[in-house]
Structure formats: structure tokens, C-alpha cells
Amino acid sequence: MIPELGYFSLTLAMVLSVLLCIFPLWGAHTGNLRLMRAAPSLAVGQFVFVLVSFAALIYASLTDDFTVAYVAYHSSSTLPWYYKITSTWGGHEGAILLWLVMQAGWTAVVALRSNSLPWILRARVLGVLGFLGVGFMLYTLWMSNPFELLLPYFPVEGRDLNPLLQDPGMIIHPPLLYMGYVGLSVSFAFAIAALLTGKLDNTWAKWSRPWTMTAWGFLTLGITIGSWWAYSELGWGGWWFWDPVENASLMPWLVATALLHSLSVTEKRGVFKSWTVLLAIAAFSLSLLGTFIVRSGIIVSVHAFATDPDRGLFILAFLAIVVGGALTLYAFRVSQVRSEGRYKLVSREVALWLNNIFLVVATFIVLLGTLLPMVHKEMGLGSISIGEPFFNKMFAIILVPFAILMGIGPLLRWKQNKWSFLQNKLLIAALMSIVITAAWLYSSYAVVAPLTLLATTLAVWIVMTTAADLYIKATVQTNFSQGLKRLGLSYWAMVLGHVGIAFVIAGVTLTSAYSVERDVSMKPGEIVQLNQYQYRFEGVNTIRGANYSGHAGEVSVLKNDKLVTVLHAEKRRYDIGMQFMTEAAIDAGFTRDLYLALGEQLNNGGWSLRIYHKPFVRWMWIGGVLISLAGFMILGDKRYRTSKKNTDKSQEKLV
């Protein structure tokens, strides 16, 4: 009964989204206000029905309703209740339903919070979102129905959730990532609406900016949590592998980052208009492309998702219609746009343009690296692999000018600057960065490679210049502490974002340079040394969890004969799938992680263990969280709040 209700509710939501697509777009085309006014209620109604449908799937999972194929394949009665809930997005059909919840949710929020917009724009934004909703709902109902029933013969026990996904990281990673992906559809909808209206002015950029920032914040957090999840769950201490699925999330992030910088130029200065629109289209297109890559099985990835060529074909067709349509519209409309702003070579406009260039280059590196192996093979040239060595080299190269620019950019004013004015400040900042970094690294490590020094210096440079800029901006009219309070939230967002990037650069550099590992076999009582820590193997206990059994290895970690921590690394075997899983033990710290993974028992009675010492690994996730906070901060900025007062006025300004 409940599953049928879920399916029915989804069908109703689809009907509403068809209406949401047709009414406001037709209304905007013909100038019919009544049709346009239907949009917000349709959007909210659609969201309610999708939510009911999602609740039905959660209910089916919580009550172990194995007549539902999805529940039977992705859950089991022994699964803890919280994983029963998260299992609703642990498989393909459920994940797409979660995507729909996000899509409908964003649409509803846009409908409710856009009442200061002119009706014609508001209607078009919602209409475009409605169109996207139709596509995804059609896909769900037609190709990936989460409520399919296994009747009359249904299993008494489910196949259990993939053990890899039974982890707190997995509870939040996909929803955050989807919030980001789907959130970019709002920027996309604003761009298309602006193109349809033919008015690519700075008001468009102003409206689009808070939505883009928020979506980008979610995307950043999603990627960060994903990296942390891989690190803690996959058992070999890796945090980024340049896997196609990871790349699929990185590409929209890079373009969205370029987009929000470009939006600020378009908003403040009215230049780069057509470029900004293109970025808005590209950001969401890459989200869709990522979905296609992940769900079609077109590219070999370490992350196993259920794949199916029919589904791939549908997503590809949808991709072609949405992106192809958007780019066609773009090609026709954008040639009429002229930008009027003037600026000199040393100006913030140019700095932000260069920022965009580097981010686009980074995107192309990832895009080519992800797709070229497939193209190479299709052209009959054989299989090639593109992975870590390639991407690391390329990113290391563009990091240098990008990070230097990141230090200079914020110090520049719009329109034009005297270079001589900045020269001294920058020189001092550069010298200080080098001295601080050198002092830090040479005092901590015996060997410092030139490239380690360079990359770390760049991280410090970003912090130094950001601090300098903060000081200058705060002391323009008043003293420092007074001035700090007067700085706007969006300025603080920039500070946070840039410092976050510095943390990521420093974390990635230092953990790559100074991580060490040992692959050892140990008997109880034996000690091995890794850096300044001694690891004493205490032995192995058998363990028993709700849906698994296994072994836990206990290792005492000592430093100068004093106990630092006791690590419990587990090797689990899940009852239903008989899958082995490594649960690494991690002693997390601000400056280093101690990481232990238990291997198998050896013939001589010993156990194989992998011990890692990872300095500063946590910094990249701290950085990621800081960056995402920058994205959420804009929600508090008054300039972007829609106030009730404006509502009445906006009713009048129809066109």
C-alpha cells in the first residue's frame, strides 16, 4: 500500500512539474500574468508530492518491506535503523529519488524566495526548473522506479547495504553533493531566463549570486566529506585518486568557482556578461555530465554504481536536449550583448578574468583527462590510462600562477591601479612568506624539496596577502577593531574562502611530501617504529556487530615511552554479502594523523598491518569546510535578502 502511494505521489509530482514547465513559460511568452502566477504554488506542490514519495521509500526501508525490490536489494532486517534510512540513497533508484527531492526542494525555495523578482523573470526561472524536473521525474518513473515490487515471490531477508556505505560519511556525503549539483540548476535557470528575456544586465547577476554561492557551498562540503569518507573508509589512506567519479564532482566545482568570481564582476561592473552566462550554463552541464559518467558505466571507475546502457542513453538524450538547447539559445542571443565597462590592465577586473582562465584551464585538464581514454579507445587507438601522475603534474603547474594571483587580486581595485603603489607591499608579503615557510619547514624536517617549499610558500603567501588586505580594508576610515566590524559579510566570505584554499594547498603538499607508511607483519608484543612513534601490537580480538563479525587488532602507540593512544583497527566480514571490509583506526590530530589498517593473518601466526603517519592531512578538510562556509555566509548578507517591502512594488514591474 505504502509503496504504491509513493509511486502515485511521484506521478502526481510529475504532472505538476509538467504544468510548472508549461504555464509560466507560456505565460511569460504571451504576457499572461495569471499563468505566471500559478508557478510558485505548482513548485511547492511538486515538492510536497516528491517528499511524500521519498517518505514512502524511507518507511518501506524502516519497516523491512522486502516486497519493494529496492529495499530488498539495498537493506536488511539486521541493518541499524539509521543505515536503513541512508540505504534509501545507497542505490541507484533511491539516489535518483533523493536527487528529485533536492531538485523539487530547490525549486520550491526559489519559488518562495523570489518574490522581489519581476514576474516575467520569476516565471521563466521556475519554468526552466520545472522542465528539468520533468526530465528527472520521467527518468525515475520510466527507467529507475524505486518502488518496483517483487511480487508474488519476495525474499524474507534483504541483501543488505554495501558495507562500504555503512559509514557516517555516507549519510551526509550524497545529500550534500546533490544539493550542490542540483543547486547549480538554479544558476542555470537564471541564466536561461535572462537569455530568454534578453536582458543580461547586472541585476541578473545580483539575483543569481546568492543561489550560486549556496549551491557552491554545498558542493564544496560534499566533495570535502567525500574525500574524508574515502580516507577513513577505503582502508588505504587515500583521499583523492583522480577517479572519474571524483573528477565528475570536481569539474562543476571548478566552473562554479569561476562563475561566482565572474558573477561578482558582472554584478559590480557590468562586464563579462556573456562569459558569465556561459559559465552558469557550463556549471550545471558538467553536473549533468558527471551524472551521466557515473550512471552510464561509460568509464571505468573504482566506485561501483549499478550501470545500465538504457539509462545511460536516457541521460545522454536529456543532456543533449538541456545543454544543446541552452547552448543554441546562447549562440543566438549572446552576440547582441555588448559590454560597456572600461578597465586597465592592472585592475581587479583583469585579475578576476585571469582567475577564470586558470579555473577553466583546470576544468579542461580534468575533462580531457577523464574523457580522453574513452575517446582514444573509440578511435581505435587502444586503451590508455590517465591518472595521478598526469593530473598532479598539470595541477602543480597551474597552481603556481593561480596562487600568486590569488594573493594579488583582492588588493587590486576595480578599473585601474598604480602598480608602483602595490609593488612594495607585495614584495614584503612575498619575502615574509618565504622566510616564514623556510623557518617552519627547515625546523621540522630534515629534507625539504624545492617544490614542497614552493607550494607551502604559496599557501603562506595567500594567508599573508589576505591578512594584509584585511588590515588595509579595515583601517581605511577608522581603527582596526572598529573597521573589522564594518566589513561586509561577502568580504569575509572571500577571506574565508581564500584562507580555506591556503589550508588545502598546505595540507595536500605537506601530507604528500611527508607521509610515511610501513607494511609489516607483527606478532603480539612486537614493536615497530615509524617517525617518532612506536607501535606495539597487543593482539587481535574477535568482534561481533549487528550485521558483521570479524577481528580487531589492538595497537598501542607510544612516543618517548609514553602512551599516546590505543588504536583498534578492524577487519569485518558482513554476514549477508560475505564481504570483507577494513575499518581503519585513525588517531586524528591537527598536525598529524596516525592511521592503522589490519590485514590478514599470516602462516606464522603474525598479522599483516599497514601503518601510516600522515602529517597535516586534516588541513585539506579544514580548508574545505572553511571554503564551504564562505559559500553559506552570503545567506546572511542583507544585500541579497529579499525583503517583504519590495514585494508590492515588484508586482507592478511586470516587464
Partner 1 sequence: MNRKLLALIPLLAFVLVCVFLFQGLFSNPREIQTGRLGQPMPAFDLPDLMQDSKRWQDSQLKGDVYLLNVWGTWCPTCLAELDYLTQLREQGVKIIGLYYVQSYDADFDGEFDMPALREEVTSMLSRAGDPYQFNILDLHRTLSLDLGVSGAPETFLVDSKGTILLHHTGDINPRVWRAKFAPLMQELQP
Partner 2 sequence: MKYFLIALMILASGIAMAEQDRYQFDNNEQAQRFTELTKELRCPKCQNQNIADSDAVVAKDLREKVLALVKEGKSKDDVIEYMIDRYGYFVHYDPPVTPATLVLWVLPILIVVFGFGFIIFRQRKAAVKQTWSEQDEALLAKLIAKNERQEQI
Residue 435 touches which member of partner 1, partner 2, none, C-beta under 5-8 Å by kind: none
**Terminal CA-CA length for the chain:** 48
> Which of partner 2, partner 1, none has residue 445 at its interface (CB below 5 to 8 Å by kind)?
partner 2
Kindly state whether residue 508 participates in binding partner 2, applying the rule CB under 8 A.
yes
- Pairwise CA distance, residues 221 & 61, whole Å: 27
Q: How far is the CB of 138 from partner 1 (least distance, A)?
A: 19
Three-class SS state of 199:
coil
Three-class SS state of 517: strand
Q: How far is the CB of 307 from partner 2 (least distance, A)?
A: 11
Region 354-383 residues binding partner 2, contact defined as CB under 8 A: 354, 356-358, 360-361, 364-365, 368-369, 372-373, 376, 379, 381-383
Contact 415, 265 (CB under 8 A): no
How far is CA 642 from each of CA 10, 192, 486, 518, rounded to the nearest angstrom? 31, 21, 22, 57
**Which one of partner 1, partner 2, none interacts with residue 494, CB within 5 to 8 A by kind?**
partner 2
**Nearest one of 202, 178, 180 to 190, comparing CA atoms:** 202
Burial class (CB in 10 A: 0-12, 13-18, 19+), 327: middle
Nearer to partner 2, 84 or 610 (CB): 610
User: Which residues make up the interface to partner 1 (CB under 8 A)?
Assistant: 274, 278, 281-282, 285, 292, 296-300, 309, 312-313, 316, 319-320, 323-324, 327-328, 330-332, 334-335, 371, 373-375, 377-378, 382-383, 602-603
For the segment 218-237, give every residue that binds partner 2 (CB under 8 A).
236
Positive or negative, the CA dihedral 72, 58, 14, 172 is: negative
- Between 353 and 440, CB nearer to partner 2: 353
Between the alpha carbon of residue 648 and those of residues 109, 115, 208, 464, 651, the distances in Å are 19, 9, 21, 47, 5
Give which of 117, 114, 391 is closest to 246, Cα–Cα.
391
Total number of residues that touch partner 2 (CB under 8 A)? 91
Residues 520-549 that bind partner 2 (CB under 8 A): 520-522, 526, 528-531
The smaller minimum CB distance to partner 2, of residues 60 and 386, is found at: 386
| Cβ(212)–Cβ(280) below 8 Å | yes
Shortest gap between Cβ of 143 and partner 1 (angstroms)?
14
Longest dimension (CA), the chain: 84
Q: Is the CB of 381 or the CB of 476 nearer to partner 1? A: 381
List, in order, residues 6 or more apart from 498 with CB less than 8 Å away. Answer: 406, 410, 462, 466
User: Which entry of partner 1, partner 2, none binds 1, CB below 5 to 8 A by partner kind?
Assistant: none
Least distance to partner 1, CB of residue 316, Å: 6
To partner 2, the closest distance from the beta carbon of 3 in angstroms equals 32
Contact between 588 and 621 (Cβ < 8 Å):
no
* 187: partner contacted, choices partner 2, partner 1, none (Cβ within 5-8 A by kind): none
Q: Which is nearer to partner 2, 336 or 420 (CB)?
A: 420
Which partner from the list partner 2, partner 1, none does 59 bind, CB cut-off 5 to 8 Å by kind? none
Residue (304 or 546) nearer to partner 2, CB = 304
Grid cell at residue 340: 560597456
371 binds, among partner 2, partner 1, none (CB under 5 to 8 A by kind): partner 1
Q: Which is nearer to partner 2, 310 or 519 (CB)?
A: 519
DSSP state of 412: P
Question: CA 423, CA 429: separation in Å to the nearest integer?
Answer: 10
Distance, in Å, from the CA atom of 14 to the CA atom of 137, rounded to the nearest integer, reads 6
Q: How far is the CB of 154 from partner 2 (least distance, A)?
A: 31
Q: Which CB atom, from 89 or from 402, has the smaller least distance to partner 2?
A: 402
Tell which positions 295-324 bind partner 2, by CB under 8 A.
300-304
- Closest CB 135 distance from partner 1, rounded Å: 16
Cβ(450)–Cβ(411) under 8 Å?
no
Residues 469-488 that bind partner 2 (CB under 8 A): 473, 476-477, 486-488
Q: What value, to the nearest 5°, has the Cα angle with vertex 275 and ends 272 and 276?
A: 85
Per the listing, cell 583546470 goes with: 362
